[in-house]
Amino acid sequence: MTNGYHIVVCGSIVPDPLQTLEPVQSPTGPALKNEMMLPAVLDPWAAHALYEAANLASKAAGSNSKVWLVSVGPKAKLQQVMMTIAQKVSFELVPVDSSASGFADAHATAALLADAIQSIPGLDRSRLLVFGGWESASRGAGATMQLVGERLEILDQFQGVDQIRVLDNAQADGSFEVLERIEGGRHQVSVCPGPPALFGWATGNLPEPRNNPQVGMANMRTVMPALQRAKSVPLPAGGLHFLGASPPKQQRQTRVVKDLPAEQIAREIAEWVGK
């Protein structure tokens, strides 16, 4: 691939996992208590995808590789998160001002993401790689990226990806090797002939990049105008109806015994869990 890649990363924002999250019922359905007041971060799964995208773009042959970050979330929260993420790697933000609720329907979210990707000016489908989280810290349906690929008519899709390695002959045909997680702690090795392709990333192998103020300033020159131009789009429920949402109840039953066989302990635990 002498012309490099056009890599689009799909990633939303989520409440900081160190915060206490309490579901409540709102007029539009389940939501988080004081959600707009909670500090937000880029979804950890999407963050891995973004770092892998930047790494691939920097190593691809040629100097024309480019990375976009398509993110669906409230504009004010996106601006807050971009202040930090923009210092990590170079990218161009494509924001969609909408709800970042974890109760959103995967089909509706995928439709917004696919429409945003298709609206990117100058995007070359013959060089297109779509990255995203295999799972999500909020939208954990496990199907969103697959639905995005279907809407974009991308046939080569890989989920649970831990590594992409550009093959030696990639200069000619753009092929690369993909490691996907499977059962038993093993990986399935596949060879993708090249773009277009979609990758749902697991944790990958890269550490979090260090903050680079120069990269941050360069990114923010395009991030702020993009946020100002972001259109507000309602995220439909897609026919979903939640009867309720509540945090799990804490339950503790302690019994101190001595000289109890391991088999009996295991049996009692299994019976307790079954109840």
Q: How far apart are CA 240 and CA 237, in angstroms?
A: 6
pLDDT of 100 reads 73
Structure tokens at 148: 């995005």
pLDDT of 140 reads 65
Give every residue of the chain whose pLDDT is below 70, as ranges: 1-2, 22, 26-31, 61-63, 137-141, 168-173, 236-248
For the chain, counts of helices (H) and of strands (E): 7, 12
**CATH number of 6-229, picked from 3.40.50.970, 3.40.50.12280, 3.40.50.620, 3.40.50.2300:** 3.40.50.620
Q: How far apart are CA 244 and CA 139, in angstroms?
A: 17
pTM of the full structure: 0.78
**Spatial contact of 78 and 42, defined as CB atoms under 8 Å apart:** no
pLDDT of 170 reads 46
Q: How far apart are CA 223 and CA 228, in angstroms?
A: 9
pLDDT of 95 reads 87
